[in-house]
Homo-oligomer: A and B are copies of this chain.
Amino acid sequence: MSKTGKILAILAMCVCAPALAAAARSKGTPSAAQILAHAPRSQWRTPNPDDLLVMQLPSGRVVMELDPAYAPLHVANIRTLVREHYFDGLAIVRVQDNFVAQWDDPEGDDGGDPRKIRSLGRARQTLPPEFTRTISPALPWVRLPDGDVYAPEVGFSRDFPAARDPATHQTWLVHCYGTLAVARDDAPDSGNGSALYVVIGQAPRWLDRNLTVVGRVIEGMPRLSSLPRGHGPLGFYAHPAHRVPILSIRVAADLPPSQRPKVQILRTRSRTFQQLLDAKRNRHDAFFVTPPGKIDVCGMSVPVRKLFKD
């Protein structure tokens, strides 16, 4: 990323007031967009292209950032599957309203043809669960002091929403809108990354510590969230024709440089991020008569920006 990079757009930042018109007024304090526009370059992080997945759907691409620090075994297995082109030609098989969009081998579903189930190749069939990790300096922590219903502490770690419990020395990534995680069967070790889901509704925090979170969507959420909902049990598509084909998934590092996503993530350890939290808590704009005073860990998406060119 050169220093002359131009910003095309700030993604995943919600102005989030149901104003009647598209014009916003402020009381003279900077808006979230203004805070972001003035963030020094050093407060943005360029993701490792080995940690970015680019999924091509018929409607366009979805970009996901994996976190190998929280789920090293699952992330490695997913990379193996991607590099074998395992996902190419599979499909989004489930879209449950206010819950998840999920992809998988359709033949592995109930009613599929077991003879056609795709081989996992060199990837592993089962993996030890990576639901939580032990708190360590390798997993940096930016605490959000506003409280939480589900966890003793919440905050951000490696720019992902996270939680921890000092009593048990455990930490984990939490399920928010856009979270990417590993579907599994009842056995905790039955997930391997060949079936993945993304949260498209209210944060299902009851899944925390029960499923392995591997990352989050950083571009293209509407390509998942606006899909037709499935009418079968659990939101599975009732008819094969309704499934949404996955054209391909690639690791960004394996793409020609011109095709790699040019995105940056705001560092949650930055002063700018603290300013944004303050802006969301205290809502200085004229619209708000009773600022909330708090923000919940899933109420604050970590900003992503797209660069016009390197």
Contacts and interface: CB of A to CB of B under 8 A. Distances in A.
A295 B226 CA distance: 26
A227 interface: yes
A22 interface: yes
Contacts of A294: 149-150
A177 to B, nearest CB: 5
A25 to B, nearest CB: 6
Given A21-B110, A229-B226, A234 B289 contact: no
Given A149-B295, A208-B290, 7 more contacts: A16-B99, A18-B181, A147-B149, A149-B296, A150-B292, A186-B287, A208-B292
Nearest to A290: B209
A233 B22 contact: yes
A39 B144 CA distance: 40
Interface in A86-138: 95-100, 102, 104, 108-110, 129, 131
A245 interface: no
Interface string A200-221: 0111111111110000000001
Nearest to A97: B222
A148 interface: yes
B290 A185 contact: no
A298 interface: yes
Contacts of A234: 15, 17, 19, 22, 24
Interface string A145-167: 01111100000000000000000
Contact of A186 (B96, B109, B233, B286): B286
Contact of A287 (B14, B95, B210, B290): B210
A221 B147 contact: no
Contacts of A233: 15, 22
Interface in A216-275: 221-222, 225-229, 232-234, 236
Interface residue range, chain A: 35 or more
Contacts of A74: none
Contacts of A288: 206, 210
B195 A296 contact: no
A98 B24 CA distance: 19
A68 interface: no
A141 interface: no
A24 to B, nearest CB: 8
Interface in A160-200: 176-178, 181, 183-186, 188, 190, 195, 197
7 contacts: A14-B96, A150-B296, A177-B202, A186-B287, A201-B202, A206-B299, A222-B229
